[in-house]
Amino acid sequence: MSSINLAPMLDTVFNLLIFFIITSAFIHESGIQVEKPQAVTAQRLKNDFIVLAITPTGEVWYDRNNIGVAGVRSTVQALLLAQERPVVIQADRRATTDILVRVMDEAKLAGAKSLNIATAVDQ
Q: Are residues 94 and 43 in contact, defined by beta-carbon separation less than 8 angstroms? A: no
Task: Give the pLDDT confidence of 61-116 residue by residue, as tens digits.
Answer: 998 899 999 999 999 999 999 888 899 999 998 999 999 999 999 999 999 999 98
Strands 50-54 and 87-91, by their bridges, are parallel
pLDDT tens for 48-59 read 788 999 999 999
Q: Give the chain's length.
A: 123
Whether residue 80 contacts residue 43, with contact meaning beta carbons closer than 8 Å, is answered with: no
